[in-house]
A and B are shown apart, each in its own frame.
Chain A
Amino acid sequence: MDKQLCSENWVGRVAVVAVSGELDMLTAPQVREAVQSALSQSPAGLIIDLTAVEFLGSAGMQVLMEAHNQTRGTETRFAVVADGPATSRPLKITGITDLIDLYSALDVALANFAA
C-alpha cells in the first residue's frame, strides 16, 4: 500500500500542497497531479510545502518549475517551503531559488501571502 505522498489543504484561498517522503522520478507524477488539481481551483496562491520531504530529485524540481511557469503572469502567487540539505540546498545549487520564492517554514510563507 502506498504511503500518502501529498495532501491538499486550503488556508483561505491559498492552496497548500504538502509533500512527504521522497520526490523523485517515481513519485513526481503524483505530485504533478496534486498541483494541477489545486491550480484547477483557481487559488489566490499556491504553496508547495516540502518540509516533510526527505529526498528531492530533479524530477521533483521539474514539477516545481512547471508550477512556476503556470502561475507566472497570473494572479496566483506561488512559493515553495523547504529547509535542509535534502531540499533547500539542491534548490539553491540549481538556481531555482533565483526564480521561485523559497521560505523555510509554512507559517512564514502564509504570512507573506496574506500581507
Chain B
Amino acid sequence: MAGPTFSTGVADAGLTLSDSADARTVTQFRHALSHWLRATIALDAVRFNDVLLAVNEALTNAAEFAYAGQNGSMTMHARYDDAGRALLVDVTDRGVWRVTDPESQSNTRGRGIPLMEALADRTTISALPSGTEVRLQFSDCAPVSAQPCATPA
C-alpha cells in the first residue's frame, strides 16, 4: 500500500504515575494528564475539561479517603484503546474508601462520584483485595492526528 507511514503508537503509549496520595499529588497528576491529553487525544474544550474533572475527582477521593490519615500511594494510568476508540483512565490506591452514611451527607460534600458518573461514559469503582480501583472510560475518542513520516517528494 503506497503512501506515508503513520505512527500508530498511540495504542501502546500511556501515562503511568505513582506517588503519595495527597492533595499536591492530585494537582501534579492532573497537570501531567493535561499535557498528555493535549499531545495524545483530540478533545474539544468542553470534553477536555470533563476528562480532567472526572479524573480529578477519582484522585481526590483516593487522596482524601484511602488511607484515613496514614501515608499511602496512588497510581494513575491513562491510555488510549485503539480497538474500542476510547480513552481509559484508571486511578488505584491500596486503601479502603471510608463508607459514608448517606443520611449524614451534608450538602457541601459527596459530589465526586456523581461528577465522575456524569462526565465519563462509563465509571467503575471496584473494591479489590489490594485496594480500590476507579476506571473511567471516555468513548468515541480519536487520537491526535499523527504526522506522516517524511517522505521525499
When distances are taken between beta carbons in the complex, the residues of chain A under 8 Å from B26 are 24-26
Cβ contact within 8 Å between B63 and A55: no
Q: Which of the segments A6-14, A41-49, A58-66, A106-114 contacts the partner chain? A: A58-66
Cβ contact within 8 Å between A24 and B27: yes
Interface check A37, CB cutoff 8 A: no
When distances are taken between beta carbons in the complex, the residues of chain B under 8 Å from A69 are 107-108
Minimal Cβ-Cβ distance residue in B for A94: B111
Cβ contact within 8 Å between A57 and B60: yes
A-B contact count (CB 8 A): 61
Within 8 A of A (CB), among B90-123: 107-109, 111-112, 114-115, 118-119
Nearest CB of chain A from residue B84's CB, rounded to whole Å: 25
User: What secondary structure prevails in chain A residues at the interface with B?
Assistant: mixed
Can you pick out 28 interface pairs between chain A and chain B where the beta carbons lie within 8 Å of each other?
A22-B27, A24-B27, A25-B26, A25-B64, A26-B23, A26-B24, A26-B26, A27-B27, A55-B30, A55-B52, A57-B53, A58-B56, A58-B57, A58-B112, A58-B115, A59-B60, A61-B111, A62-B108, A62-B109, A69-B107, A69-B108, A85-B49, A89-B46, A93-B118, A93-B119, A94-B111, A94-B115, A99-B107
Binding site for B on A (CB under 8 A): 22, 24-27, 55-59, 61-62, 65-66, 69, 85-86, 89-90, 93-94, 99
